[in-house]
């Protein structure tokens, strides 16, 4: 099961302190490039204008912790990188518990969870801890140490291009900016890494593939500001990949358009993977589809997910881990949903019968020579129905929808009919 390998890779990436910039991002990309040697690690300088935004300074952390009045070290960043508010400014000083509390973040309704908090665009500092821990803090003087730096540096991302027969591209995007969290985020880059590995191994595909590993929001905005005109010309379909690692659900978020090839494929694959899959609306979006489908950008990008960000209790807390939330099984399901979607896009062509009226199938050994009641059920019926719909106009996906079968049930029949020269194929 490929899910096991993916889970191992996620464990390897777990301890790294990722943020939207900094050494954690570079370290993550280096580990991915071990599996994908052709991955290119790229950069955008701090201060660069990207549409309405400015790429922020690089943030790096050496150490960060608090010492209690009893001399105990708590909220230690080296133990759990969620303890420090992302982009915390440097600070060192002794303060009272009351003063400290103004910088402490908890989730009262999830007393054993450390929340994930960031402040990318306004300088402040803070620590995150569990409500249970917070409630036991005693009065006295606390020592705070945050040894972090802001510097002119770069925002980094990884990119890989796999060329196919056509210049038209399938686009996959995933993000690498969250510290130690599993479904949102490590499921995304790890599944995409293994999808990219498979695409490299499978040999010449019909479409080309553009795959990026970026920090969320500022990363996709930066990437788009550099590439969107080219992307609008080339990208035929694509998916933003996140939250593909737990076992609780399969879900779909539409593109803004809602009717692109990516949407049709995602809904088809998910329907035949889990008939109870969750259909979200554009209003439920929250990740980089916000940028890819923004007005004027309008790329055909949908999302195939397991349980969506914000829709599970452990989201954006220390509880979103590789034990209780993300599993090898969960990742396996996420991988195969994305892969089946890609395979469906690759196979979704236009077929046309070469013969007027039904072909004489029995003379080709593809049909019984004796005619009895109910002699043409099952696969034979499916084949005859498929032929009857190969009109040179409908796509295989449309035909599968009419036949009410998964598109992958038709790949073998199509091959047989093509080899018998009963149908011709053309691209979409």
Task: With beta carbons less than 8 A apart as the criterion, state whether 242 and 188 touch.
Answer: yes
CB count within 10 Å of CB 310 equals 12
Strand ranges, E, within 166-281: 169-175, 208-214, 235-240, 251-253, 278-279
CA distances from 389 to 137, 350, 377, 383, 395 (A): 71, 10, 17, 10, 9
Contacts with a copy of itself, 264-293, as mask; x by CB under 8 A: ------------------xx-x----xx-x
The verdict on 47 binding a copy of itself (CB under 8 A) reads no
Question: 273: part of which helix (H) or strand (E)?
Answer: helix 261-273
> What phi, psi does 7 have (nearest 5°)?
-65, -40
User: Of 151-180, which residues contact a copy of itself (CB under 8 A)?
Assistant: none
> Residues, the chain, total?
428
Candidates 47-55, 198-206, 234-242, 321-329; binding stretch for a copy of itself (CB under 8 A): 47-55
Q: By C-beta, is 67 or 405 nearer to a copy of itself?
A: 405
CA 71 to chain CA mean position, Å: 43
State in angstroms the smallest separation of the CB of 200 from a copy of itself. Answer: 30
Q: List binders of a copy of itself among 342-361 (CB under 8 A).
A: 352-353, 355-360
Check residue 297 for interaction with a copy of itself (CB under 8 A): yes
> Could you tell me if 59 and 148 are in contact, meaning their C-beta atoms sit under 8 angstroms apart?
yes
> Which range of residues in 169-177, 198-206, 234-242, 294-302 is near a copy of itself by CB under 8 A?
294-302
> Which x/- pattern, by CB under 8 A, does the window 64-103 give for a copy of itself?
---------------------x------------------
Rounded least distance, CB 417 to a copy of itself, Å: 13
Residue 221 touches a copy of itself, criterion: CB under 8 A: yes
Report which secondary-structure segment, H or E, holds 340: helix 328-347
138 sits near a copy of itself (criterion: CB under 8 A) = no
| Residue 354 to residue 418: CA distance in whole angstroms | 10
Q: How far apart are CA 25 and CA 175, in angstroms?
A: 10
The answer to whether the beta carbons of residues 209 and 199 sit under 8 Å apart is yes
Q: Of 75-83, 152-160, 264-272, 385-393, which segment contacts a copy of itself by CB under 8 A?
A: 385-393
Q: Is there binding between residue 369 and a copy of itself (CB under 8 A)?
A: yes
Per CB under 8 A, residues contacting a copy of itself are 51-53, 85, 105, 107, 115-122, 124, 217, 220-221, 224-225, 228, 256, 282-283, 285, 290-291, 293-298, 310, 315-317, 352-353, 355-360, 362-363, 369-374, 385, 388-392, 402-403
């Amino acid at each position: 099961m490929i899910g096991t390998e993916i889970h191992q890779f996620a464990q390897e990436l777990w301890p790294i302190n990722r943020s939207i910039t900094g050494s954690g991002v570079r370290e993550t990309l280096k580990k991915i490039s071990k599996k994908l040697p052709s991955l290119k690690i790229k950069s955008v300088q701090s201060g660069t204008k990207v549409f309405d935004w400015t790429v922020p300074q690089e943030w790096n952390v050496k150490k960060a912790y608090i010492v209690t009045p009893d001399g105990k070290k708590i909220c230690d960043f080296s133990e759990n990188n969620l303890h420090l508010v992302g982009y915390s400014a440097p600070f060192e000083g002794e303060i009272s518990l009351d003063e400290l509390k103004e910088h402490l973040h908890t989730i009262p309704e999830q007393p054993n969870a450390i929340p994930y908090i960031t402040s990318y665009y306004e300088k402040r500092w803070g620590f995150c801890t569990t409500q249970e821990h917070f409630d036991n803090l005693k009065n006295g003087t606390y020592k705070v140490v945050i040894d972090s730096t802001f510097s002119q540096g770069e925002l980094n991302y990884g990119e890989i291009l796999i060329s196919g027969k056509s210049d038209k591209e399938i686009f996959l995007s995933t993000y690498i900016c969250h510290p130690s969290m599993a479904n949102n985020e490590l499921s995304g880059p790890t599944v995409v890494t293994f999808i990219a590995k498979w695409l490299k191994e499978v040999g010449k595909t019909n479409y080309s593939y553009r795959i990026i590993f970026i920090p969320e929001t500022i990363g996709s905005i930066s990437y788009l500001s550099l590439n969107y005109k080219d992307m609008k010309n080339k990208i035929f379909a694509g998916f933003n990949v996140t939250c593909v690692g737990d076992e609780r659900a399969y879900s779909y978020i539409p593109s803004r358009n809602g009717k692109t090839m990516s949407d049709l494929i995602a809904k088809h694959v998910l329907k035949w993977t889990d008939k109870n899959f969750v259909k979200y609306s554009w209003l439920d979006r929250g990740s980089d589809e916000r940028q890819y489908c923004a007005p004027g950008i309008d790329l055909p990008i949908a999302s195939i997910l397991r349980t969506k960000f914000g829709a599970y209790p452990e989201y954006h807390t220390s509880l979103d881990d590789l034990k209780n939330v993300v599993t090898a099984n969960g990742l396996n399901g996420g991988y195969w949903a994305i892969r089946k979607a890609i395979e469906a896009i690759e196979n979704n062509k236009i077929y046309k019968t070469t013969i007027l009226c039904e072909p004489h199938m029995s003379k080709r050994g593809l049909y019984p020579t004796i005619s009895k009641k109910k002699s043409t059920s099952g696969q034979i019926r499916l084949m005859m129905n498929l032929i009857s719909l190969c009109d040179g106009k409908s796509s295989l996906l449309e035909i599968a929808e009419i036949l009410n079968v998964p598109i992958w049930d038709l790949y073998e029949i199509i091959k047989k009919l093509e080899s018998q020269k009963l149908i011709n194929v053309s691209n979409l």
